[in-house]
């Protein structure tokens, strides 16, 4: 199985075997990511980092992944200080940066930007988020977290929060369907999972149930995947507050949780998980953000062809 020169645009391009392979390579990378061993697998390689939108975790974990493997990072820096501010097209920017690097990681505010970039790039494009579109490396790290902290096959999982606009949960659902998950959805009606996604899951014989309260949902699940509810989705601030309080995770809410429950969150969080939960054995969201490093190490090594 070779990933060399492959663009990583969307999870839909990955079969279960391909995903499993990426997760296996990430496991080999984990000791290096934890600084328990060192590596120069990507020595002499350069990663072009083009972020047209703000990011903390995605950007830094890509850079950390490259550095841990002895590679170099070349960043666009601020969009305002680049040729983009002079009106340069993304296509031209990509062609130029492809000449400077061995792979490009791209975050862009418009949907389809990574697909366009792949058409103009001589080196692999790794999509780090294109507007409301795809963010495949987030899904890979979510799957890796589930594999490391729980188990993937036949997982009982609850997805909670903003299930309408949250691109993370949409592609996670698709990926989990490859592993025969049982999925419980918890969200306010105005932020519920799009019906076409639920229909798609049911067509794949995935059991999908909808619950209105977190307490009811978590009694039987092994992973609770929480997402941020954005204030701007609600015209009425009072309505936002009501929903936010209703879906808040506190130690009290977790009283009836199974012992092996793991709570995940793509971060940043606002009020949906209180800091007191951080101290419980359920909290896996900081491990999750760490796992972004080995998974991105794996993807970089695979697309740059230093690992099969």
Partner 1 sequence: MSEVAKKEIRVQPICSGTVIDHITAGQALNVLKILGITGTSWGIVSILINAPSSYGKKDVVKIEGRELVSSEVDKISLISPGATINIIRDYDVREKNQVGIPSHVEGVVKCINPNCISNSNEPIESKFDVDAGEGKIELRCGYCERVICENIADHLL
Q: State the residues that interact with partner 1 by CB under 8 A.
A: 87, 89-91, 108-113, 115-116, 119, 130-133
Cα 82 versus chain centre, distance: 27
Shortest Cβ 36–partner 1 spacing (Å): 41
Our answer to whether residue 156 is catalytic in this structure is no
Q: Is 150 within 8 Å of 143 (Cβ atoms)?
A: no
Our answer to whether residue 58 is catalytic in this structure is yes
Sorted by sequence, the CB contacts under 8 Å of residue 162 that are 6+ apart come out as 187, 191, 227, 228, 229, 230, 233
Our answer to whether residue 36 is catalytic in this structure is no
Our answer to whether residue 135 is catalytic in this structure is yes
Shortest Cβ 117–partner 1 spacing (Å): 9
CA distance 113 to 106: 8
Shortest Cβ 203–partner 1 spacing (Å): 14
Helical pair 136-149 and 16-33, crossing angle rounded to 10 deg: 70
Entry field: residues in the chain: 308
Question: How far are the Cα atoms of 180, 184, 212, 298 from residue 293, in angstroms, in the given order?
Answer: 26, 28, 34, 9
Name the residue nearer to partner 1 (CB basis): 120 or 240.
Answer: 120
Nearest to 186 by CA among 140, 248, 133: 248
Nearest to 137 by CA among 111, 100, 171: 171
Exactly one of 7, 21, 68, 107 is catalytic; name it: 107
Shortest Cβ 185–partner 1 spacing (Å): 22
Exactly one of 7, 45, 58, 148 is catalytic; name it: 58
Nearest to 10 by CA among 90, 103, 117: 117
Question: How far are the Cα atoms of 20, 50, 93, 132, 232 from residue 47, in angstroms, in the given order?
Answer: 24, 10, 15, 24, 35
Name the residue nearer to partner 1 (CB basis): 8 or 158.
Answer: 8
Name the residue nearer to partner 1 (CB basis): 109 or 154.
Answer: 109
Our answer to whether residue 89 is catalytic in this structure is no
Exactly one of 86, 203, 255, 259 is catalytic; name it: 86
Name the residue nearer to partner 1 (CB basis): 112 or 281.
Answer: 112
Shortest Cβ 102–partner 1 spacing (Å): 24
Name the residue nearer to partner 1 (CB basis): 40 or 119.
Answer: 119
Exactly one of 7, 68, 135, 170 is catalytic; name it: 135
Residues taking part in catalysis = 57-58, 86, 107, 135
């Amino acid at each position: 199985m070779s990933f060399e020169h492959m663009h990583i645009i969307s999870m839909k391009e990955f079969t279960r075997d391909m995903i499993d392979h990426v997760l296996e390579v990430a496991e080999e990378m984990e000791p290096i990511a934890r600084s328990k061993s060192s590596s120069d697998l990507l020595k002499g390689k350069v990663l072009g980092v083009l972020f047209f939108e703000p990011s903390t975790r995605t950007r830094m974990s890509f850079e950390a992944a490259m550095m841990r493997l002895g590679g170099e990072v070349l960043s666009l820096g601020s969009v305002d200080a680049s040729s983009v501010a002079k009106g340069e097209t993304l296509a031209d920017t990509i062609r130029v940066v492809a000449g400077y690097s061995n792979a490009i990681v791209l975050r862009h505010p418009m949907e389809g930007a990574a697909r366009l970039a792949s058409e103009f790039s001589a080196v692999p494009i790794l999509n780090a988020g294109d507007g409301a579109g795809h963010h495949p490396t987030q899904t890979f790290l979510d799957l890796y977290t589930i594999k490391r902290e729980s188990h993937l096959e036949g997982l009982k999982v609850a997805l909670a929060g903003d299930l309408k606009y949250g691109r993370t949960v949409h592609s996670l659902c698709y990926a989990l369907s490859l592993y025969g998950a049982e999925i419980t959805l918890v969200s306010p009606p105005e932020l519920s999972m799009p019906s076409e996604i639920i229909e798609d899951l049911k067509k794949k014989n995935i059991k999908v149930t909808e619950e209105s309260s977190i307490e009811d949902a978590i009694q039987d699940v092994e992973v609770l995947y929480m997402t941020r509810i954005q204030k701007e989705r609600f015209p009425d601030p009072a309505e936002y507050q009501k929903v936010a309080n209703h879906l808040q995770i506190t130690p009290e809410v977790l009283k009836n949780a199974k012992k092996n429950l793991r709570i995940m969150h793509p971060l940043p969080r606002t009020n949906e998980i209180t800091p007191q939960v951080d101290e419980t054995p359920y909290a896996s969201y900081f491990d999750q953000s760490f796992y972004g490093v080995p998974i991105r190490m794996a993807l970089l090594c695979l697309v740059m062809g230093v690992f099969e």
